[in-house]
Chains A and B, each alone.
Chain A
Amino acid sequence: MNYAWSYFFVLIWLAYLISSGVLLFSRGFLLSRVSKTDISSCQRLSLNESDEYFLSEEIVQEIFKDVNATSNLCLPQKSKVIILLIDALKYDFGVYKENISNPLPYENKLTIMYDLIQSSPENAHLMQFKADPPTTTLQRLKGLTTGSLPTFVDMGSNFASPEINEDNIIDQLVRHNLPMVFLGDSTWTDLYPRRFRRAYSYPSFDIFDLDTVDNKIEQLLPKELAKDDWQVLIAHFLGVDHCGHKHGPLHEEMARKLSEMNEVIKSVIAKMDGDTTLLVMGDHGMTASGDHGGETEDETNALLFAYTKGNKFIGSEFGSDNTTMQQIDLVPTLATILGVPIPYSNLGLINFNIVPDIKVPYMNKFQTLLLHAWQNAQQMYKYFFNYALENKRTFSVDELENMHNEYVLFTHRVKTVYNEAGFKSFIGDLNANMRLILNTCREIWVKFDAVQMSQGLLFTLLPIFFSFLVVNNLNALELYRIFTPKGVTFTYLVNIAAGFFGYRYFKNFSFKSEDHGVIFFTNIVSAFILIFHALQNWRTIANNWSAVKRFGNMPTRIIFIIAVSVFFSNSFIIQEPKILSYLLVGSILLLAYEIIQKCLRLELNKRFKWSQFLRSTIAQLLLFSVLAIIIVRYTYMLFRCREEQGNCVDFSGNSDGFSIKRPATAKTYIFAVVIIVLYTTLSRLYLRHSGSLTGGSPNVWLARYGPTIASICAGGHLLLAHSAVKNVKRTHIDAMALVIYGLMLVQIVVLCVSPLLTFYVLPNFSTPIQIRPWDNVIPQIFKKIKRMYDDAEARVNQMDAMVYGLTTVYSSATIVFGLFLSMMLIVLLEPRATIGMVACIAISVVIILVHSTLRFRTAANLANCIQPTFTGIVSWFLLAHFCFFATSHQTTLSQIDWRAAFVGRTSGLGKSHLISGVLVILNTFCGQVFFFCMYNLLSLLTFSLCALHPKFIKGTTAANTNANGTPATSTVEGIGLDMMRGEFLLYENEGTFLASSFKLAVQFLILQGIKVFCAMLACTIHCRHLMVWKIFAPRFIYEGIGTFVSLTALIVGYFVILRINRALERLIFKANNLKLD
C-alpha cells in the first residue's frame, strides 16, 4: 500500500512543478495594475458672492500663505467644452501642405484647421497627440478619461461589465453637476452608463459601415449645439476609422470622409459661442493599411486641434510642450478648464497650450498657473506613493526614496515662487520630475518581465519532458522500483530545503519576490532528481522506447498536434469550439475505424453477410459512435459565440447584471429536466445491473437514493431559479441547491470512510439463492444445490463468501462519486449548459464502450489491457476540453458565468469570496473537473464490461476457434476467461493496476502540460500582436486556470482509486479472517 501513496505524492509533486511554471510565466506576462477606487475631491471656488466658497481677496491671500494646503480647492470653470473625437484621426490628416498640386486622398482635407491657425494663431492650436499602446479604441478611451496607463488586467475592476470604477473625469464632472451630452460610439455608454444627461449612442460593430453613425451624429449635433443645458458635449465619429479598416487611408472614400469631417468642424465652429473651447482629436492613428492596435509611430500619432472663439490660449511659455501632447495629459487639462479636481489616478501633466486664458479675480496669471500645476503635482505624488505603499515591491526602494526627497524639496520650493521668472524655472523642474514618475510607471505596467516568462516556459517544459521519459517509458514493475517511499520522502525533503533556500536568499539572486526564488530553486532541484531517475534507468527506458513503433498512431498524433497548435493563430482561437468538435469527431471516427479494422474482420471471418454484420456487437458499437457524433454535432447549438465571430447575438455589450445570457425558451427548460432525469435513471439502472445497489449499508443507501434526490433538486432548481415564477421564496430555491451541496459533502465523507458498494453475504447465512447478475441463473442454482448435498468436508471449500458488486468494485464507487459530482456541476450550470454537460457524459460513455472493446480485443496481456490506447487517451482529453465549450462557455473574460457564485447563496449564506470563486471555477471548468476526476473509468470499465457482458468474450473466443489461432489472439483467450472476474482481477494484480493508473494520470498530466506550454509559447511569440490582450491573453488565462483545475482533478481521481483499493483490502482481510474462524 505504501508504494501507492508514494505514487500519489509523486503525482502531486509533478503537478506542483507544472503549475509553478505556469504561475511564474503568468507573473511575467500578465501585466497588472491594481486599479484604485479612491476619488479626488475639492471645493469649487465660485464667482457668485452668495455661495459658501466665494473667491474673495482674503481667500486668495490665505491660499498663497500656504500653497501646500490648496489641494482641496478648485479654481472656477474657465469655459464650456466641445469634444469632437474622430476615431483614428492621424496627425498627418490635419497637416496642411501648401505647395502640393496633387494631394493624396488624406492630405489637405481638413482645411478649416489651417485657416484658423493662419487667421487667429492665438485662438487655435494644432498638436500631435501621442497615444500609449495598445492603440485600440476601448483602451484609449480608458486612457483618455482616467489619465492612467491601461494595462491588461486592471485588477479590482469587475470583469463582467466594462464599466470603469476608477476615478475619472466623467465621474468628476457628474459629481460637480456639470451636465454632459454624448453622441456616437456606444463604447462610451458601456464604459460610463447613466452618466450623461442625453446620450445618443450607436453600436460600432459593423466595421464596413462608414456613414450610419456619422450621419446620425450630424443630424443631432446642430440641435444639441442650440441647447444650452450642457457644459460638456462629446461627439465620437467612427467613419474615418471604419474607412481606414475598409479601404485604407489612400482611398478616395477617405478624402470624402475627411472632407465631411471638415464640414462638421466648420459648422460646429460657426454655431459655438465665445466662451466655449473646441477640442478636435483622434484617439489613435492608423498604419498605411488603415489598421491600428500596435505601437508604431503611425498608430500612436494622433491629432489634437483646439480652438476657442472669444478667449486666447495660455500658450507655450510656461513649460508645456508646444508640438506634442501625451494623451494622458488630456485629463488634467480638461479638469483645469472645467474646474473640477484632477482624477485620483491621473499620471498626466496639464498642457497650458490649450487652456483658455481667463483671468481669475485677485490673482496674477502665474499664480493661477502655479495653483493648477501644484495641484496636479500633489495629486500625482499622492497617487504614486499610495500605490507604492499598498503594492509593495512594485517599485524599488531606492527609486521611491529619491522621489520622496524630490517631492519634499518641491514642497519647500513652491512657497518661494514670487514672480513669473521663478515660476517658469519651478514648473520646468516640476514637469521633468513628474515625467520621471510617468516613465517609472510605464516601465512597470507596459513592459513584460522577460526573465519570469522564459523561466516559466522552461520550468513547465522540464517536468513534462522528463516525466514523459521516466513514467511513460517504464512499466509498472519498474515504476515500483523507482518511486520507493524513501525516495519520495527524500525528494520532498530536498524540495522543501530548496524552497527555504530560495525564500531566504532570493535577493542574492536578484529575484523580485520570495515566490520566484522558491519556484526557481525547487524546480531546478526537481529537474535534477528527474534527470537522475532517467539516467539511472536509461537502459530500460531506451529499450522500451525502441520497442515503440516509429510512426504508430500517426492520425492520433496529428489530431493532438492540431489541438495544441490552435493557440498560435487568433482565427483558430476564435473558432476553437468548432475545431475541437471536429477533432473530437475525428478521434471517435478513428476509434470506430480501428474497431472495424481490428475486430470486425475477425468476427465476420470469411464472408460478408449483412445479417451477421447487423447482429454483431461491432455494428452496435458503430451505431453508438454515430450517435455520439450526432450528439457532438448537436452541441453546436449550445456554443456561445464571441464578439469577433460577427453577427453574434450572445455578445451584446449590455452591462446590466452579471452574465450575458441568451434567454432560454420553455422548451430548453423542459428538455434539460428530462435529460437530467434520463441521465440519473440510466446510471441507476447500470449500477443496479452491476449489483452495486444491493444490501443495506448506509453508503449503499446513499448511492441508491442520493442521485434521485439530487436530480429532483437539480431539476427543481433549474426550473424555478431561471423561470419567471414569482411566488416561490428564494430560500426554497436555495434549499434545493444546498441539498445537492450537502449530498456531495456526505459523498466525499463516505468516499474517505467506506467507499465500497458491495454487499457481503456470510457463507453461513447463504441459504437463499444468490444469483450473480451477470450469469445464467439455472446453472448457479444447480451448482449451489449440488454443493449443499455434498459431504461435510466439501462444505469447507464451498465457504467462499458471496459478495455482490465485486466485479465492478472500483468503477461503481467511482461512478457514484461522479454522479454526485455531475449533479453538483449541473445545478451550477445554466439550463442550456446542463444539456451540454449531459451530452458530453453520453459521448464519454460511447468512447468508453468503443475503446474498452477495442482495448480488450487488441491487448496482448493484462498490463496492456489496463493501459488505454493513445487514441482513447487523446479522445478523453479532447472531450474534457470540448465540454468547456459544450457547456456554453467561451474563452473571453467578459463571458464568465458569474451567476454560479450565487447558486444557493442568495439568502446571504456563506459570504466568503473563496466559496464564490470555487463555485465559479467549478462552473467554468466543469468539463475538466468531471472528466479528469473520472479518468480511471477509461481503463476500469474495460474489465467491468467484460464481466457484465460476457458476450464480448464469447464473441472473441468463437472467432478464435475458427481463425486457426494467430499468437496474439490466443493470449486474448487467456485473459478472456480471467476477465470474467471483472475488476477483482485488478485487485489481484494490485501492483500493476495502481502503477498503470498512476501512469495514466501522468499521461493526462503530460498532455495538459503540453497544451498549456503551447498556450504560453504562443503568448510569448505574439506578445506584441495586435490581438494579444483581446484573444491570446484571455485564452492563456483560461488554459492556465484550466491546468490548475485539471491537475487537481487528476490527483482527486487517483485519490479516489486509492481509497477504494484500501477499503477493498480491508474487506478481503475481514473475509479471510471470517473464513479462518
Chain B
Amino acid sequence: MAPKFDQQKTKHQLFHLSISLATVLICMTYLQFQQNWTNVGSIWKSLVVPIVFTSELLKVLLARYYSHSDDNSLTQKQRQKRASYFSIREICGGLLLQFLCTVLYAFICIILGAPVLQNYEQTFVLALLLALETTTPTVLLLGGGGALQVCFCEKPDFITKSENTALELFKYNAIGAIMGAWAGSVVAPLDWDRDWQAYPIPNVVGALLGCALGNIYACSRILYATANVFLNRKRY
C-alpha cells in the first residue's frame, strides 16, 4: 500500500518551493538592509515587487520545463491550448485580468480601511504585490481564460500534470499571502511609535511572511509524504 512515488513531481515541487522560500528570504534581507522603511510603499524605490515578479516568472518557467517531459502524453485539447499560448487574444486577456485583479485588490485594501485618496501609491504597491503573489503565476501559466476557469469552475481538462502540480503549490502561496496581508494589520493600532508601523509596511511584510508560512506548510507535507514512501520502501 505504499503511495506511488513520482520522482519528477517531487523534484518539481521541491524546486518550486525552494524558489518561493528563497524569494521571501531575499526580500526580507533586502528590507532589513535597506534601513529606510518608508521606501517599501513606493513603486520605484523598492525592489520587492521586481524580486517577487522574477520569482513568479521563474516558477512558471520551471513548470514549463517539467511539462516538456510529459509532452508525448498530451491530449488534443492540451495541444491546442499550448499552441494558442502566445496568441494576441490570450496575452491581452491575461494583461486585462492582471489589471482587474490589481484594481480589485486595491479596492479591497481601501474598503478594509486604507485611506481613500491619500497613500494611493502605497495601496497600489500592496495590491500589485498581492496580485503578483496570487493570480500572476496562474495567468502566466494558463493565460487569462484558463486562470478564470481554474478559479471559478471545475478543473478544466486541458491542464497537464506538471501544470497541475504547480497550481497546487500556487494555491498555498496565494492563501498564505492573503491571510498574511490581512493579519499584518494587527500591529497597526499599537502605540509603539515605530516607523515600520506605517501603512503598508506591516501588510507587505505580512504578505511575504504569510507566503513563507504557506510554502513551509506545503514543503513539510511533501517531505512527510516522501519520507513515508522511503520508510515504507525500506521495510519491504
Asked, given contacts A578-B113, A629-B111, whether A607 binds B149 with beta carbons under 8 Å apart, the answer is: yes
Point out the residue from B148, B149, B189 that lies within 8 Å of A579, measured CB to CB: B189
Report B149-166 residues with CB < 8 Å from chain A CB.
Answer: 149, 152-154, 156
Q: How far is the CB of B178 from chain A (nearest CB, A)?
A: 10
Q: Which of A596, A633, A636 has the most CB of B within 10 A?
A: A633
**Cβ-closest chain B residue relative to A576:** B189
Asked, given contacts A562-B186, A571-B190, A571-B191, whether A606 binds B111 with beta carbons under 8 Å apart, the answer is: no
Asked, given contacts A581-B113, A585-B112, A607-B149, whether A601 binds B154 with beta carbons under 8 Å apart, the answer is: yes
* Beta-carbon contact of A600 and B152 below 8 Å: yes
A613 within 8 A of B: yes
Report B111-146 residues with CB < 8 Å from chain A CB.
Answer: 111-113, 145
Asked, given contacts A555-B179, A571-B191, whether A613 binds B152 with beta carbons under 8 Å apart, the answer is: yes
**Cβ-closest chain B residue relative to A596:** B152
Contacts of B190 in A (CB 8 A): 569, 571-572
Point out the residue from B153, B179, B186, B189 that lies within 8 Å of A606, measured CB to CB: B153
Q: How far is the CB of B115 from chain A (nearest CB, A)?
A: 10
B37 within 8 A of A: no
Contacts of A765 in B (CB 8 A): none
**Cβ-closest chain A residue relative to B189:** A575
* Beta-carbon contact of A633 and B152 below 8 Å: no
Please count how many residues in chain B sit with their CB below 8 Å of the partner chain's CB atoms. 21
Q: How far is the CA of A596 from the CA of B185 in the complex (A)?
A: 25
Q: How far is the CA of A636 from the CA of B110 in the complex (A)?
A: 12
A761 within 8 A of B: no
Point out the residue from A562, A575, A585, A601 that lies within 8 Å of B111, measured CB to CB: A585
B108 within 8 A of A: yes
A183 within 8 A of B: no
* Beta-carbon contact of B113 and A604 below 8 Å: no
A605 within 8 A of B: yes
**Cβ-closest chain A residue relative to B107:** A626
Q: How far is the CB of A165 from chain B (nearest CB, A)?
A: 34
Q: How far is the CB of A963 from chain B (nearest CB, A)?
A: 8
* Beta-carbon contact of A607 and B153 below 8 Å: yes
Q: Which of B112, B156, B185 has the most CB of A within 10 A?
A: B112
Contact with B along A599-614 (1 / 0, CB 8 A): 0110011111000010
Q: How far is the CA of A570 from the CA of B113 in the complex (A)?
A: 20
**Cβ-closest chain B residue relative to A566:** B189
Point out the residue from B152, B154, B185 that lies within 8 Å of A582, measured CB to CB: B185
Asked, given contacts A586-B182, A601-B154, A608-B148, whether A633 binds B110 with beta carbons under 8 Å apart, the answer is: yes
Q: Which of B108, B111, B154 has the most CB of A within 10 A?
A: B111
Contacts of B153 in A (CB 8 A): 601, 604-608
**Cβ-closest chain A residue relative to B185:** A582
A589 within 8 A of B: yes
Q: How far is the CB of B135 from chain A (nearest CB, A)?
A: 14
* Beta-carbon contact of B179 and A578 below 8 Å: no
* Beta-carbon contact of B189 and A608 below 8 Å: no
Q: Which of B153, B183, B188, B191 has the most CB of A within 10 A?
A: B153
Contact with B along A66-96 (1 / 0, CB 8 A): 0000000000000000000000000000000
Q: How far is the CA of A585 from the CA of B154 in the complex (A)?
A: 28
* Beta-carbon contact of B113 and A582 below 8 Å: yes
A648 within 8 A of B: no
Contact with A along B188-200 (1 / 0, CB 8 A): 1111000000000
A630 within 8 A of B: yes
* Beta-carbon contact of B185 and A608 below 8 Å: no
**Cβ-closest chain B residue relative to A581:** B113
* Beta-carbon contact of A608 and B186 below 8 Å: no
**Cβ-closest chain B residue relative to A554:** B179
Q: How far is the CA of A562 from the CA of B154 in the complex (A)?
A: 34
Q: How far is the CA of A633 from the CA of B115 in the complex (A)?
A: 10
Point out the residue from B110, B152, B182, B191 that lies within 8 Å of A604, measured CB to CB: B152
* Beta-carbon contact of B145 and A608 below 8 Å: yes
* Beta-carbon contact of B152 and A601 below 8 Å: yes
Contacts of B179 in A (CB 8 A): 555
A210 within 8 A of B: no
Q: How far is the CA of A572 from the CA of B191 in the complex (A)?
A: 9
A306 within 8 A of B: no
A632 within 8 A of B: yes
**Cβ-closest chain B residue relative to A604:** B153
Contacts of A604 in B (CB 8 A): 152-153
* Beta-carbon contact of B152 and A589 below 8 Å: no
A878 within 8 A of B: no
Report B9-63 residues with CB < 8 Å from chain A CB.
Answer: none
Q: How far is the CB of A117 from chain B (nearest CB, A)?
A: 41
Point out the residue from A574, A629, A636 that lies within 8 Å of B189, measured CB to CB: A574
Q: How far is the CA of A630 from the CA of B153 in the complex (A)?
A: 27
Contacts of B152 in A (CB 8 A): 596, 600-601, 604, 608, 613
**Cβ-closest chain A residue relative to B110:** A633
Contact with B along A348-379 (1 / 0, CB 8 A): 00000000000000000000000000000000
* Beta-carbon contact of A571 and B189 below 8 Å: yes
* Beta-carbon contact of B154 and A606 below 8 Å: yes
Q: How far is the CB of A323 from chain B (nearest CB, A)?
A: 38
Contact with B along A683-701 (1 / 0, CB 8 A): 0000000000000000000
* Beta-carbon contact of B111 and A633 below 8 Å: yes
* Beta-carbon contact of A582 and B149 below 8 Å: no
**Cβ-closest chain B residue relative to A630:** B111
Asked, given contacts A607-B149, A608-B152, whether A578 binds B111 with beta carbons under 8 Å apart, the answer is: no
Q: How far is the CB of A373 from chain B (nearest CB, A)?
A: 48
Report B173-229 residues with CB < 8 Å from chain A CB.
Answer: 179, 182-183, 185-186, 188-191
* Beta-carbon contact of A572 and B145 below 8 Å: no
* Beta-carbon contact of B108 and A589 below 8 Å: yes
Q: How far is the CA of A589 from the CA of B109 in the complex (A)?
A: 12
* Beta-carbon contact of B182 and A572 below 8 Å: no
Q: How far is the CA of A555 from the CA of B210 in the complex (A)?
A: 14
Contacts of B108 in A (CB 8 A): 589
Q: How far is the CA of A572 from the CA of B153 in the complex (A)?
A: 40
Contact with B along A562-597 (1 / 0, CB 8 A): 100000011110110011011001100100000010
Contacts of B154 in A (CB 8 A): 601, 605-606
Contacts of B149 in A (CB 8 A): 607-608
**Cβ-closest chain A residue relative to B186:** A562
Contacts of B188 in A (CB 8 A): 575
Contacts of B183 in A (CB 8 A): 558
Q: How far is the CA of A571 from the CA of B191 in the complex (A)?
A: 6
Asked, given contacts A601-B153, A605-B153, A607-B153, whether A578 binds B110 with beta carbons under 8 Å apart, the answer is: no
Q: How far is the CB of B226 from chain A (nearest CB, A)?
A: 23
**Cβ-closest chain B residue relative to A579:** B189
* Beta-carbon contact of B145 and A582 below 8 Å: no
Q: How far is the CB of A617 from chain B (nearest CB, A)?
A: 14
Contact with B along A530-567 (1 / 0, CB 8 A): 00000000000000000000000001001000100000
Q: How far is the CB of B72 from chain A (nearest CB, A)?
A: 26
Q: How far is the CB of B110 from chain A (nearest CB, A)?
A: 7
Q: How far is the CA of A582 from the CA of B149 in the complex (A)?
A: 30
> What are 6 A-B contacts defined by CB distance under 8 Å?
A555-B179, A575-B188, A579-B189, A601-B152, A604-B152, A630-B111
For the complex with contacts A571-B190, A633-B111, 8 further pairs of A-B residues with Cβ separation under 8 Å are A562-B186, A574-B189, A579-B189, A585-B112, A589-B108, A601-B152, A608-B149, A636-B113
Shortest 9 CB-CB distances between A and B: which pairs?
Answer: A575-B189, A571-B191, A608-B148, A608-B149, A633-B111, A629-B111, A571-B190, A604-B153, A571-B189
